[in-house]
Structure 1
Amino acid sequence: MHSDPLIHEDIVIFSSADGKVYALDHRNGKLRWSYTTKGEQQYDAWDYYLSSPVVSKNIVYLGSGDSSVYALDLASGKQIWSFKTGGIVHASPVIKDEKVLIGSYDGFFYALNAKTGGLIWKFKTVGDLYFPKGEIQRAAVTNEKDVFFGSRDYNIYSLNLKTGTGQWNRKEPGSWIIAPPLLYQDKLYVGTSDTHQFHSMGTTYGDIKWTLPLNMRVYAAASMMNNELVFGCFNGRIYFVNPESGKVNASFQTEESKKNYAALFDEKDKVRKDIDPDGKNYLEVERRILALGAILSSPTVENDQVYFGDSNGFFYAIKR
C-alpha cells in the first residue's frame, strides 16, 4: 500500500493500487464501503506514492492515477464530485479555506471548490528542458496566506493562497523537489532528490537559511519532535537535526542499510563512481538503493518515540 491511511473517528480509509478506495471499521477491519475509480497507473520507476485521502466536513478527498480528483461521502463512499486534470494525480490534497489544493503530473497546481469541485484557480509550473511538464508528485503545505510545493522541474514554489499568483520560486539545479515541505515557525524544511541535500528556507522569499549535505535522496516530509527535525533518507537512515543550525544531533541506520551500504557508497560516504543512478542500468541501481531499507515515508512521532517503515518491509519504533 502506497497511501497513508486516514483514521477518522471509527473508520480507516486508504487508496489502493487496484484503483479502489477502501473504508474499514477500525475496530474489526470489516468493510464499510469501497469506491472504484477509473483505474490506477504508475508514471515511472520513481512514482512511489498514491494520493492519500483527507477528510473535511464529512467529505473524503483524494487524487487518482486516472487523472481525477474525487470527493466522496464519508458515510457511504458515494461520489459527490470529480474533477479531471491532464495527468496522474498522486499528490495528496490539502483542504484550506473551503479549497481543495492539489497538484498533478500535468504540471498544474489546482485550487478547487471543496463543495462543488469547481475550479477556483490553477497555476502552471515553469518546466525544465528535460522535464517540461514540471510534474507535481506530492502534497503541498499551507499557512494562512501562502501555499508551498515542489516539482520535478527542479523548483519549489510559493503561491498566493487566495489567487494562485506566483510569489517566488527557487530552483534546485539538477534535482527534483519531491518531498512535501515542512512548515515550522515561518520556515520551510525540505529535502531534495538528486542533489542529496536538505534545506531550511524562509517563507517570504525562499532564501536559504542552511543546507545539510546528504548522500542520497529525501522524498518524504520531515516531522518535528521536541524541537528537532526528524526525517528519513533513501540511504536507510533517520536523521535528528537542529532546526536552527542544521547540525545533525543523531542518526539511526537500518540493519539492511549497514549490511548493503558498501554496494552503493565508498569509504568517503559518497555514491561510488561506478554507480550511475541515471544510466542505462538505472533500474538495477534503484533496486540496490531500495535494498538499503530506504525510508520513503514520513516518520510518525509521539513523545520520544519515532515510528517508520522501510522499503524492505520492516517497521521500526526507535526511542530518542
Structure 2
Amino acid sequence: MKLIHKLLLVTLFFSFFSFELYGQSQLLWDFSSKAGIYSTPAIDESTVYIGSKDSCLYALNKENGRLEWKFKSKGEIKSKALLYKASVIFNSSDGLVYSLDQKSGKKQWTFQTEGEKRLDMWDYYLSSPVYANDKLFVGSGDGHVYALNPANGELLWKYKTGGIVHASPLVHKEKVYVGSFDGFFYALDSNNGELVWKFNTVGDTYFPKGEIQRGAAIYQNSVIFGSRDYNVYSLNLETGTGMWNMKEKGSWVIAPPLVVDDLVYFGTSDSHRFFALSAKSGHEKLSFPVNMRVYGRALSFENEIYFGCFNGKLYKLDQSKQKLEEVFQTHGSKKNYRKVYNEKDEFRSDFKLYGEDIIGSEKTILGLGAILSTPIIENGIVYFGDANGVFYAYKLK
C-alpha cells in the first residue's frame, strides 16, 4: 500500500508539473449556434459578441461561454459587430443594419438598405460596419457604400458602385477606402461621399472583372488588397496609382492582408498557400503550403502570426523558426478529416473539390468545421467560430 501511495503521489506531482509547464494550451469552452459562423467576434471587458448564419447575434460570457442574450434578425449575420459606446451594430443579409443595446440586446434602431444579394457560393461574407470621424461606414449587396449616424441610423450619404460591396470599409485620414465586386477599388471623401479616385483591377481570362471581395490594409503611403483576378495590389493612398502588384498563379486572394512591420501576410484560395510579401515591393519573402483555402485575415500576437483554414485547423507562423505549426483542430475537422484527406494530408483520390458535385464537395469541406472566421486574441485566449456553428475559446501556450 505504501508503494502504491508513493506511486500515486509521484503521478500527481508529474501530472501537475506537466499541466503547469505544458498543459497551458487548452480549450476553455465552446458554444454551439445552429448554423455556420463566418464573422469575426467582437469583445469587451466581459462579453464576446458573434453573429451566425442562424440569423442570431449572440452575447456570450467571456469567461465560461454562458449565453447572456441573443437577438434574432431576419437574415444571416455574416459581418463583424461594431461596439460603439453602449451599442452593438451589425449588418444582416435581410438588408438591415441593426443597433442593439450592448447589455440587454434590445433593438435601438435599424437602417434599411436597398437589399442584400449574394454573388455566388463563395461569397461568404457581408461588409462589417466601421466607425470613424463620428460616422458609421458600411457596404451593401445593393452596391452602395453608406455613411450613417451611429447614434440613430440616420443616412448621412451614400455612394453607388457598380457591384456588390461586401468588403469592409477602411477609413484613413478623412477618406474611405473600399473595393467592390465591379472590380474597382474606391477612395471616397468620408465627409460627403464624393469620389476622390478609383482604380480598376487588371482582371483575368476567367475572372475579367477582377472582383474585390474583402477588405484592405494600410502601409505607409499605400493601401493593399487582394482580388479574384489572382492579384494582390498596392496603390498610392493619395492618387490611386499602382505601386506594385503580385499575381498568384491560379488563385483568388480573398483574405484581407495583415501588415506587420514591412511584411504583408495573407492566405490564398485555390493555390492553398500562406504568404509573406515585402510591403514595399511585393516580393515574396516567405511561402508555406496548406491543404485548403484561407479566407480569413491573419492576426499578430506576441511576434507570431495566427490564421484559420478551411481544413478546420488554426495555424501559427513561428517567426523565429520560420515554420508553420498547427495550433488547434475544430471538432468537425477531427471527426471528418479523413473524408477529405489521406494519411499524407492530401486530397483523397475519391474526393474532387471542383468535380461534378461542386455544391456537395463544398458542403463536405464546410463540414470539417472550416475556419472562415478571423480569430481575435485577448490575454492569450483566442476566440473564433467555425462553419459548423461552433464558437471556441482556446488558451494558447
TM normalised by structure 1 equals 0.98
> Which has the larger share of helix?
2
Closer/same/farther in 2, CA of residues 236 and 150 from structure 1, 3 Å limit: same
Aligned to 2:141: 65
| Aligned twin of 2:165 | 89
Evaluate the alpha carbon distance shift between residue 197 and residue 121 of structure 1 in structure 2; reply closer, same or farther with a 3 A threshold. same
Q: How does 1:168-317 map to 2 (within 5 A)?
A: 168-243=244-319, 245-317=321-393
Q: Which one is further off, 43-52 or 71-80?
A: 71-80
With over 3 angstroms needed to count, the CA separation of the structure-2 counterparts of 1:218 and 1:197, relative to structure 1, is same
Aligned to 1:5: 81
> Equivalences for 1:23-62 in 2 at 5 Å?
23-62=99-138
Correspondence for 2:39: none
Distance 2:219 2:175 in 1: 13
Question: Kindly, what percent of the aligned residue pairs are identical?
Answer: 54
Quote the Cα distance in structure 2 between the aligned partners of 1:31 and 1:65. 23
What is the one-letter code of the residue matched to 1:281?
A: D
Unmatched runs of 5 consecutive residues or more in structure 2: 1-76
Output aligned runs, 1:57-136, within 5 Å.
57-136=133-212
Change (3 A) 1:125 1:244: farther
Q: Deviation at 1:246?
A: 3.5
Distance, in Å, in 2 between the alignment partners of 1:109 and 1:305 is: 35
Aligned to 1:62, the other structure's residue is in SS state strand
Counterparts of 1:245 and 1:168, CA distance in 2: 29
TM-score normalised by structure 2 residue count:
0.79
Asked if 2 retains the 8 angstrom alpha-carbon contact of 1:15 and 1:52, the reply is yes
Alpha-carbon contact 2:126-2:140 (below 8 Å) kept: yes
Cα distance between partner residues in 2 of 1:319 and 1:119: 45
Q: Which runs of 5+ in 1 are unaligned?
A: none
Cα RMSD, aligned residues only: 1.0
Closer, same or farther: CA 294–160 of 1 in aligned 2, 3 Å: same
2:206, 2:334 → 1: CA distance? 34
Kindly state the Cα deviation for residue 144 of structure 1 after the two structures are TM-superposed: 3.1
Report SS of the residue matched to 2:328: strand
Residue-by-residue CA offset, 1:181-232 (whole Å, 9 max, x unaligned): 1000111000000000000110111111111110000000011111111110
SS of the residue aligned with 2:103? Answer: coil
Q: How many residues align structurally?
A: 320
| Deviation digits for residues 112-168 of structure 1 (CA, Å, limit 9, x no counterpart) | 000000000000000000000000000000133110000000000000011100011
**Higher relative contact order, structure no. (Cα contacts within 8 Å, ≥ 6 residues apart):** 2
Q: 2:187–2:198: 8 Å Cα contact kept in structure 1?
A: yes
Query: Per-residue deviation at 1:250?
Result: 4.1
